[in-house]
Amino acid sequence: MNNTSILFKSLKVGELNLPNRIVMAAMTRMRCNNDTKVPNDIVADYYSQRASSGLILTECTLVSQRSNAFPGCAGIISEEQVEGWKKVIDAVHKKNGRIALQIWHSGRATHSNLQGGQIPWAPSPIAINGVNYAVKQPHEVPHEMTTEDIKLVIQQFKEGAYRAKKAGFDAVELHGANGYLVDQFLRSYTNRRNDQYGGSVENRSRFCLEIIDELVQVFGKGRVGIKVSPVGRYNDMFDEDPVKLYTYLFKELDKRQIAFIEIMNSKDEENAYGYGHPASEKQVPNLLQLLRPSFKGVIIGNVGLTAQTAAQGIEQGLFDAASFGTLYIGNPDLVERFKDNLKLSDSDPKKYFGGNHEGYSDYPPYQG
């Protein structure tokens, strides 16, 4: 047993029983069919290769055409997409893996050129600073959602959850991080509304919690989780008091007894593009310690972890499991490499997004 042995202890996460505490984080890889958003055979191969993880969290998967933010991203809005995901899930289950759908709406973090001319939606008409990655054009001022728009999107999340359950997913994770729609409602910099969905932390949390309630209706509380980035800067995000906001949100999620919260504990050097906002660790240097008491369920730590720092975080009680993104790209057998202290393979950043199987499903397991 090495000093990372706690990573290989089983963990009960809601209704799920994980054989280890190493989670594959959601990663946008843009390998689905660009026109249909259907996961294909290489997507099934990619996820099944990584089935030894305690839990796989899929790439962000859209619940509405208005959420389309990347070429080659996945959807859960059609029967064809359900059938595509069934192949992925079956491939993972054949290797005794567990897989959860990360369900998602991009909100303002997209562009009308990706949505057939439809202007992006957001809680308030505030554009992201900078250029949209996918279309290489400045971000647009989004349409401020009406109450009817909000109800429609909540319903779209529920319908997406029904399709996810039909496909056979073991659980669902709401994407509430990284400056996408749920995150946009949560944080004060992007939510300037003066109705029941804006203003106080209670009101700004309402959209997120109403979606969670719908997901719980479909999957049951023991198979629902959420990912959050309380101090993340990606997509030009900021909140004036993240500890107050997320303490309230975590307590509300605790009341609902959902299975897990995945927390991105962003670091200064990874958020240098802060658009004038203070870097995260200067704002909240001890984020995990402050939020941990507000949620009794499983917390999954995320961002920049190694096997050693993940094990330390679990031993210290900051989180119960750890999710890894970049390390899983070049190491499909990451669990085995961690366990046997084997050398980790590098991955090619030029092949992270889009393309074919190269740089995606062609990384071999450890070969000595």
User: How far, rounded to the nearest angstrom, does the alpha carbon of residue 43 sit from its chain's CA centroid?
Assistant: 17
Token digits of residue 221: 């509380």
- Among candidate residues 90, 9, 11, 79, the one with its CA nearest the CA of residue 47: 90
Other beta carbons within 10 angstroms of residue 352's beta carbon come to 16
Q: Which residues in the chain belong to E strands, given as ranges?
A: 11-13, 16-18, 22-24, 55-62, 74-75, 99-104, 121-122, 131-132, 137-138, 143-144, 171-176, 224-228, 260-264, 298-302, 321-324
How far apart are alpha carbons 130 and 169 in whole angstroms? Answer: 36
Contact between 128 and 94 under an 8 Å Cβ cutoff? The reply is no
140: which DSSP letter?
Answer: P
| Residue listed under structure tokens 């997004």 | 353
Q: Residue 291 is which amino acid?
A: L
Q: What is the DSSP string of 264-316?
A: E---GGGG---TTSPPHHHH-TTHHHHHGGG--SEEEEESS--HHHHHHHHHT
Contact between 34 and 71 under an 8 Å Cβ cutoff? The reply is yes
How far apart are alpha carbons 87 and 68 in whole angstroms? Answer: 22
Query: Which sequence positions are flagged as catalytic?
Result: 180
Contact between 8 and 307 under an 8 Å Cβ cutoff? The reply is no
